[in-house]
Structure 1
Amino acid sequence: MQHALPDHLTGTLLEGRYELGPRIARGGTATVYRAVDTRLQRVVAVKLMHPHLAEDPTAADRFVREARAAARLSHPHVVSVLDQGHAPDGVPYLVMEHVAGSTLRDVLRRRGALPPGEALALLDPVLDGLAAAHRAGLVHRDVKPENVLISGTGRVTVADFGLTRAVDQHTATATVLGTVGYASPELVTGQRVDTRADVYSAGIVLFELLAGRRPFEGGPLAVARAHAEGAVPDLRTLDPGLPAGPARLVARATARDPQRRPPDAGSFLEELRAVRSGLRPAELARLPPPGSVRGGPPAPPRDSGATTALDPAGAPTAALGAEAAPTEALGPAAPTEALGPAAVRTEAPRPRSTPTEIRRPPGPGFPAASGRPLPARRPGGSSDPWRPEVELRPTRPLHAAGTLALVALAVAGAAFLGWLLGSGPGGTVSVPDVRGAGPELAEQYLAGAGLGNVAVHETADPVAPAGTVLGTDPRAGATARTAEQVVLLVSAGPERTTAPDVSGMPEQDARARLEEAGLTVGSRTPVPDDAAPGTVVGQHPEAGHAMAEGSAVELAVSGGARADSAPGVLGRPVDEAVRVLAEAGYPARVEESLGAPFGYVVAQTTDGAEVVLTVV
């Protein structure tokens, strides 16, 4: 479910039209706010790029270009882009359709694995929306459950085309911009990607819907290696009772070789509907076994050739730069044969034989206690039934080759371990102290120390200005591995609250109500009013205004009805005279005579509703 939280931008009006409400999401490139289009009086979602990213002209131009590309889509299963503009500080934003409801990730957290019928029904509109994007020449590049929105009426839409690129704009890159847990092998290894990358990600989503967890677990680097070098596990090895159709569908969509996948989301959708129509009602409604709801076996060792299931919660979104892994770790792998439409029969590997000695059983002519082995079979053969027909001992050349292979593997493993614990992601550095800096400068300091995996977490702080780094996790001075994620704790300013309406309350009740809202009482001004004395008759700021916690609200308190005539204040000090008149409900205007060296009232006249005091 989307949780709305006010922050320092709540209440901001963009270009005189879009009034920002509470924050509903924050990602790696932008923050999303629920907002009101004041011109059309409708609720929308405004996606505002992070200011430190907007300072890069290339990133800002790409944000605008991709927003315009996404706006070309008009489909019931794609979140519509309605408008685009720039905030007063130049930060670009885009306005999207607001979908009130939950995400597919919420469904997975709540229910775990789903029956095949529900899983296929949920993926159907997702593929329908992606197919519209593919027909328009766009690739989403970040298909995951968090980007699948489900409205209160059950409408399913694909959101966040922020990583979208036109197919002809794709180039090889060493940076993974999507979520690693759902990234295709070609995206992980920096190769050119096309619509088949979205097909792979959608296949991983279907795997998670059927198994309750993703196929690979571990840190971002380990998961990226698994996608690049391993094969997605067969779902039927995890759940033997699963119908063969959905398992084959997942295997085809997640083939490591893009040529073996459906060419685009439209083709994948046709295959999904064919599989769904071929399942019996009992197969569609089959409940997953209890063990497939959550959890999974531990991650394999770093240098293990095997890949295992499964990460229940999912690894966080991470960007893998060129320095995140050695070239050989994420290089292109040999194509993997995927399961076809028909079941593939494979022969179980035979266990390797070990040297065996054949002994004769005791009996006539066979000394029971000798225990001596029979000699090897002669070339001419023998009719002795106790002689082996073939030699089971491995020949010397094979033995030598095996030894050399083991030595080569040991040397390679030692070299890899040296790199891992030295300059590779296994190396350690000290976390620098970046408190007080801005997020962008802090990231530069961390990158200079060898820590390139940085995330930003905003937290309220009553003292530090918004955008100031409060600290890091791990803390400054701690030892961290170069591949480890460092979290920047950034101040979002004080907590925001809304001024309550205290007009008409007795002063003491108004004070208590303001304190409950986290506010204090500022100046108290008595004013003449027909309300009972001590009743609050006005406040500043007005009710409903967003304020920082701890801020003061000024109160105007009734001093009772104004007297029929102004009290006399002749001979009093001017400050006292003005106060007495104000309490009686008469504003005063002071006129100084001879520079007013003494500050006493020597004359008092009434000019309409105002009292004029002459002071010397």
Structure 2
Amino acid sequence: MQHPVPDRLSGTVLEGRYELGPRLARGGTATVYRARDRRLDRPVAVKLLHPHLAEDAGAAERFAREARAAARLSHPHVVSVLDQGRSPDGTPYLVMELVEGPTLRRVLRERGALPVPEALDVLEALLDGLAAAHRAGLVHRDVKPENVLLDAGGRITVADFGLTRAADQHTGTGTVLGTVGYAAPELVMGRRVDARSDVYATGVVLFELLAGRRPFDGPPLVVARAHADGPVPDVRSAAPGVPAPVAHLVARATAHDPQDRPADAGRMLEQLRAVRAALGREHPTQVLGARPPAGNDPTEVLGARPPGGNDRTQVLGTRPPGDGGSTRVLGARHVPGGSTATEVLRPGDPTRALGTRRPERQERGASGSTDPWRPAVELRPARPLRTAGVLAVAALAVAAAAFLGWLLGSGPGAPVAVPDVRGTGTELAEQYLAGAGLRNVVVRESPDPTAPEGTVVGTDPAQGSAVRPLEQVVLIVSTGPEQVVAPDVVGMGVEEAGDRLADAGLEPGERTEVPSAATAGTVVGQEPAAGTAVARGESVLLAVSAGPRAQEAPGVLGAPVADAVRELEAAGWPVVVEEPLGVSLGVVVAQETTADGVVLTVL
């Protein structure tokens, strides 16, 4: 879980019950806030769909599906969904169990690869939660370290069922949902997705836990192609110390063919437990993020200080122990004998800089005054104040310049490179841009002759360009090939029809000559029909008149079927050949003329 961040919605109360606190996380589809349930007086997490997605019926439906799917699950390793509703502006939200602790991604970022026993502990809890979902007929579709949470007691839970689908529902749009780094080949290629796709993603997670990195890295399109084209490499190539049974478990889970993987998370869980038994030794459980019990050997705690030190928190600016702990008044005079006398200023005394030494009192000052408290040399107070003001302004200017230089140079305002998100879906592209620190994203649709509808074909600025986090990045999303309206070319000559189609952005396609009362060479039919929307560059089939056919069909009884057909078609008569016995000797034994042409019976 990320550190809380103030947000414009912090303090908002949803439906008179859920009071939003600081923002905890922001993903590609929703923002998560810490909140308080006023009715039950308990902390919760509220997940609000991004406003621009709330207007998308598909995104809103996926969001509602998350609520219905997760609410069906009651399991220690699955984050509970408690309620759902809509904000005053109609934005859908979910109310979830608040898990206080880091994500598995943060664990990997801070520690890198985990020891084999810890990696298997994490995987066992992850598979246990997924197995409950699979038994309920649900497929998560977005298993990754960001969606695995660890609370302070070490409990591991699976979250974010935003892409969940029932096992009998599948997409066929070709748009990849989920994170490409963990996407199964069938998900990348838009094929049927089932529980084995979650098994594949879990295998990739185990690879990362053991090796400290994913099997494929690079731009999203490169990673997607790597998953689609080839097998995941042996984890021992990246982590040679991994035992062979564990490496084989990774290989089975990430098999390219779904048929070669475990059937679901429950089956993979059984295989994992068998592997742990086959290792032939007990693995001490090291709970990630747990607080060690008093008096026991400390379990490794993320970010904890090594045992053995008695560190004290020292208030900045306080005097270290042993100095007597005495407080000295600024400007006080030190009285011989070890005490400190507080110097009291009398009314009317001249202004004096703190810490300056008071001149020794004289019977008469230089100015001739007999006042014993008047300094020997009189200073005009305006000059030191003016100097101090100038110095303060200069110091502030230097500090502001240094802060601005840091902000724009290496701080949060430093330029970042636009990642390559071509070939991904809109939601996934926004996730990658947000991961690079670019959240000011808008979508512009544009036709593309080759990219499927909904696929990102580029960005503005282009990928690799250096932009600052607050600058706007435009996602250029394909609407598919440009659509044009087929013109009406019936009644035109063949050449005129070809020119008319070319003017409309279409091509004249195959021509079929048919008998017709129209003049030979005249277009008498077209496919697709006039007024139909078709992709630019498509071909239009043309039916062209061959002239009027003979009044009577020529007789072809006893003729070979090939000669008979040729003679009838030359006379302008369509031919239908029937073989009632299913065996053709190639001889016409019957001929019948109908309104549609000539029917030949052949033996």
Q: Structure 2 length normalisation: TM-score?
A: 0.50
3-state secondary structure, aligned to 1:444? strand
Alpha carbons of structure 1 residues 271 and 134: separation in structure 2 relative to 1, 3 Å:
same
**Does residue 260 of the first structure (1) align with residue 250 of the second (2)?**
no
Q: What's the counterpart of residue 22 of structure 1?
A: 22
Alpha carbons of structure 1 residues 232 and 14: separation in structure 2 relative to 1, 3 Å:
same
Q: Please tell me the residue identity of whatever aligns with 1:247.
A: A
Alpha carbons of structure 1 residues 31 and 251: separation in structure 2 relative to 1, 3 Å:
same
Q: Please tell me the residue identity of whatever aligns with 1:88.
A: P
Matches within 5 A, 1:132-281: 132-281=132-281
Q: Please tell me the residue identity of whatever aligns with 1:55.
A: E
Q: Please tell me the residue identity of whatever aligns with 1:235.
A: V
Q: CA deviation at 1:168?
A: 1.1
Q: 2:155, 2:225 → 1: CA distance?
A: 35
The CA deviation string for residues 511-543 of structure 1, in whole angstroms up to 9 with x for no partner, is xxxxxxxxxxxxxxxxxxxxxxxxxxxxxxxxx
Q: 1:73, 1:319 → 2: CA distance?
A: 36
The CA deviation string for residues 400-419 of structure 1, in whole angstroms up to 9 with x for no partner, is xxxxxxxxxxxxxxxxxxxx
Alpha carbons of structure 1 residues 208 and 439: separation in structure 2 relative to 1, 3 Å:
closer
Flag structure 2 segments of 5+ consecutive residues without an equivalent.
287-417, 428-438, 473-603
**Does residue 443 of the first structure (1) align with residue 443 of the second (2)?**
yes
Alpha carbons of structure 1 residues 448 and 11: separation in structure 2 relative to 1, 3 Å:
farther
**Contact 1:63 1:162 (8 Å CA) reproduced:** yes
**Contact 1:115 1:285 (8 Å CA) reproduced:** no
**Contact 1:52 1:439 (8 Å CA) reproduced:** no
Alpha carbons of structure 1 residues 446 and 6: separation in structure 2 relative to 1, 3 Å:
farther
3-state secondary structure, aligned to 2:60? helix
**Contact 2:100 2:151 (8 Å CA) reproduced:** yes
The CA deviation string for residues 227-251 of structure 1, in whole angstroms up to 9 with x for no partner, is 0001111122333332101000000
Q: 1:155, 1:167 → 2: CA distance?
A: 27
Q: 2:285, 2:420 → 1: CA distance?
A: 33
Alpha carbons of structure 1 residues 163 and 274: separation in structure 2 relative to 1, 3 Å:
same
The CA deviation string for residues 376-395 of structure 1, in whole angstroms up to 9 with x for no partner, is xxxxxxxxxxxxxxxxxxxx
Q: 1:43, 1:262 → 2: CA distance?
A: 38
Q: What's the counterpart of residue 52 of structure 2?
A: 52
Matches within 5 A, 1:472-511: 480=462, 489=470
The CA deviation string for residues 350-369 of structure 1, in whole angstroms up to 9 with x for no partner, is xxxxxxxxxxxxxxxxxxxx
Q: 1:139, 1:486 → 2: CA distance?
A: 37
Q: CA deviation at 1:58?
A: 3.2
Alpha carbons of structure 1 residues 130 and 443: separation in structure 2 relative to 1, 3 Å:
same
Alpha carbons of structure 1 residues 97 and 146: separation in structure 2 relative to 1, 3 Å:
same
Alpha carbons of structure 1 residues 138 and 485: separation in structure 2 relative to 1, 3 Å:
farther
Alpha carbons of structure 1 residues 35 and 485: separation in structure 2 relative to 1, 3 Å:
farther
**Contact 1:178 1:319 (8 Å CA) reproduced:** no
Alpha carbons of structure 1 residues 485 and 163: separation in structure 2 relative to 1, 3 Å:
farther
Q: Please tell me the residue identity of whatever aligns with 1:269.
A: L
**Contact 2:62 2:162 (8 Å CA) reproduced:** no
Alpha carbons of structure 1 residues 318 and 164: separation in structure 2 relative to 1, 3 Å:
farther
Q: 1:19, 1:31 → 2: CA distance?
A: 15
**Contact 1:207 1:215 (8 Å CA) reproduced:** yes
**Does residue 119 of the first structure (1) align with residue 119 of the second (2)?**
yes
Q: CA deviation at 1:485?
A: 11
Q: 2:102, 2:14 → 1: CA distance?
A: 27
Alpha carbons of structure 1 residues 100 and 207: separation in structure 2 relative to 1, 3 Å:
same
3-state secondary structure, aligned to 1:101? coil
Q: Please tell me the residue identity of whatever aligns with 1:83.
A: D
Alpha carbons of structure 1 residues 316 and 25: separation in structure 2 relative to 1, 3 Å:
farther
Q: CA deviation at 1:173?
A: 2.9
Q: 1:323, 1:98 → 2: CA distance?
A: 29
Flag structure 1 segments of 5+ consecutive residues without an equivalent.
287-314, 325-437, 456-472, 492-616
**Contact 1:34 1:46 (8 Å CA) reproduced:** yes
**Contact 1:175 1:319 (8 Å CA) reproduced:** no
Q: 1:137, 1:321 → 2: CA distance?
A: 27
Q: 2:82, 2:243 → 1: CA distance?
A: 42
Alpha carbons of structure 1 residues 323 and 142: separation in structure 2 relative to 1, 3 Å:
closer
Q: CA deviation at 1:156?
A: 0.3
The CA deviation string for residues 269-293 of structure 1, in whole angstroms up to 9 with x for no partner, is 000011012214498899xxxxxxx
Alpha carbons of structure 1 residues 218 and 192: separation in structure 2 relative to 1, 3 Å:
same
Q: 1:485, 1:137 → 2: CA distance?
A: 45
Q: CA deviation at 1:29?
A: 0.9
Q: 2:213, 2:125 → 1: CA distance?
A: 21
Alpha carbons of structure 1 residues 278 and 163: separation in structure 2 relative to 1, 3 Å:
same
Q: Please tell me the residue identity of whatever aligns with 2:229.
A: E
Q: Please tell me the residue identity of whatever aligns with 2:256.
A: R
Alpha carbons of structure 1 residues 57 and 282: separation in structure 2 relative to 1, 3 Å:
closer
Q: What's the counterpart of residue 357 of structure 2?
A: none
Alpha carbons of structure 1 residues 445 and 65: separation in structure 2 relative to 1, 3 Å:
closer
Q: CA deviation at 1:2?
A: 1.6
Larger Rg: 2
Q: Structure 1 length normalisation: TM-score?
A: 0.49
Provide the aligned length of Structure 1 versus Structure 2. Answer: 329
**Contact 2:173 2:190 (8 Å CA) reproduced:** yes
Q: What's the counterpart of residue 380 of structure 2?
A: none
Q: Please tell me the residue identity of whatever aligns with 1:275.
A: V
Q: 1:78, 1:317 → 2: CA distance?
A: 33
Q: Please tell me the residue identity of whatever aligns with 1:251.
A: A
Q: What's the counterpart of residue 9 of structure 1?
A: 9
Q: What's the counterpart of residue 560 of structure 2?
A: none
**Does residue 83 of the first structure (1) align with residue 83 of the second (2)?**
yes
Alpha carbons of structure 1 residues 153 and 285: separation in structure 2 relative to 1, 3 Å:
closer
3-state secondary structure, aligned to 1:127? helix
Q: CA deviation at 1:225?
A: 0.5
Quote the RMSD (CA, aligned, Å): 3.6
Q: 2:426, 2:112 → 1: CA distance?
A: 35
3-state secondary structure, aligned to 2:35? strand
Q: CA deviation at 1:490?
A: 7.2
Q: 2:121, 2:51 → 1: CA distance?
A: 39
